[in-house]
Chains A and B, each alone.
Chain A
């Protein structure tokens, strides 16, 4: 089974965690306990209440074993910093992070990091309707 770590239990993070948890080992990290509670009692992954910027929290989530890390907090700068540090320090094969700002998406593009931008994705989808 794949081992997946998710930072940020907002709408996207929570939905992804619920979606992946039947077929993968999922750990989700958030600094807000209420957000983690929103996953409900039937969520069968692991919940870690803590600061994603603190490497101890990531180690508690056993980041070293992860096949993939998803950074889905609403904070672009946090997602970027944690993504780059994890890539440098731990050999996580896939690091996927959400960045809302298009300018930052371009600047911080780097091999081994997948940066996902909601606006660009939506625009790609929308454009398909006029071709």
Chain B
């Protein structure tokens, strides 16, 4: 597959190398001349183009009409949006992916029809939060603008559901238990499955039932 990446910063560069390893054809565009010269010397099998990718002639030079995906990964949110728009509207690129630098700008990417805005700051914050385990509850995925969420709940020893089977556990309406992670095992539960301390429960819940679900599983909020 041919992929054009605008912005050869840390993200653009790592991505380009990675895609190259997976045998994709890659073109990297950056507006810094010195950087481009160095990259052209170092990376023989990646096409390097020096120029501002928010100008159509630069995208044309990168043969973006042949690309299946355009990734805009510059450090400027307005530039990333414009690049994605140009790729799509002028060159018919099927899929546009863009790096969101400031989470406050995420809504702009959506209004401007960027297919896949990637809000790296929020993603990293979520990973760090999970690693640090500030809470016993973690939202893994939120769907339909947060109306439906998939959550992970760690069951503490003093939870009211410990040593109970699922039939005995009262879950609030609009929530469903999807899976139990117990050590290395993944259990798809049935009515007779018992919950033990330190189980990690994966559940799907509508946003307004989330609090009640957590209360039912942990006993407090």
Digitize B60-98: 1 where CB-to-A-CB distance is under 8 Å, 0 elsewhere. Answer: 000000000000000011110110001001100000000
With a cutoff of 8 Å between Cβ atoms, the chain A residues found around residue B111 in the complex are: 84-85, 88-89
Q: Which of A67-94 contact B (CB under 8 A)?
A: 75-78, 80-82, 84-85, 88-89
Q: Which of B147-166 contact A (CB under 8 A)?
A: none
Task: State whether B108 touches A77 (Cβ < 8 A).
Answer: no
Query: What bracket does the count of chain A residues touching chain B fall in?
Result: 20 to 34
* Residues in chain A near residue B89, CB distance under 8 A: 107
Q: Does A24 contact B (CB under 8 A)?
A: no
Q: Say if the beta carbon of B14 comes within 8 Å of chain A.
A: no
With A85-B111, A85-B112 known as contacts, the answer to whether A77 contacts B105 (CB < 8 A) is: no
Is A81's CB under 8 angstroms from B56's CB? no
B79 touches A103 (CB 8 A): no
- Pair A53/B112 contact, Cβ less than 8 Å: no
**Chain A residues positioned under 8 Å from B175 (CB to CB):** none
* Closest beta carbon of chain A to B129's beta carbon, Å: 23
Contact of B78 among A53, A55, A89 (CB under 8 A): A53
For A80, A81, A84, A101, the residue with the greatest tally of chain B CB atoms inside 10 Å of its CB is: A81
Q: Decide: A77 and B54 in contact? CB cutoff 8 A.
A: yes
In the bound assembly, the distance between CA atoms of A51 and B102 in angstroms comes to: 11
Contact B90 A54 (CB under 8 A): no
Docked-complex contact B79 and A53, CB < 8 angstroms:
no
B145 on the A face (CB < 8 A): no
Please name all residues of chain A whose beta carbon is closer than 8 Å to the beta carbon of B102 when the two chains form the complex: 51, 53-54
The B-contacting residues of A in range 27-60, CB under 8 angstroms, are 51, 53-56
Tell me whether A81 and B86 are in contact in the complex, defined as CB-CB below 8 angstroms, given that A89-B111, A103-B55 are known contacts.
Answer: no
Contacts of A75 in B (CB 8 A): 78
CA distance A85 to B82 in the complex (A): 12
Q: For B86, list chain A residues within 8 Å (CB).
A: 107
CA distance A82 to B77 in the complex (A): 11
Contact with B along A3-44 (1 / 0, CB 8 A): 000000000000000000000000000000000000000000
CB neighbours of B107 from chain A (8 A): 55
Residues B105 and A54 in contact, CB atoms below 8 Å apart:
yes
Smallest CB separation, B79 vs chain A (Å): 5
Q: List 20 A-B contacts (CB under 8 A).
A: A53-B78, A53-B102, A53-B104, A54-B105, A55-B104, A77-B54, A77-B81, A80-B78, A81-B78, A81-B81, A81-B108, A81-B112, A82-B108, A85-B108, A85-B112, A103-B55, A103-B56, A103-B57, A104-B54, A107-B56
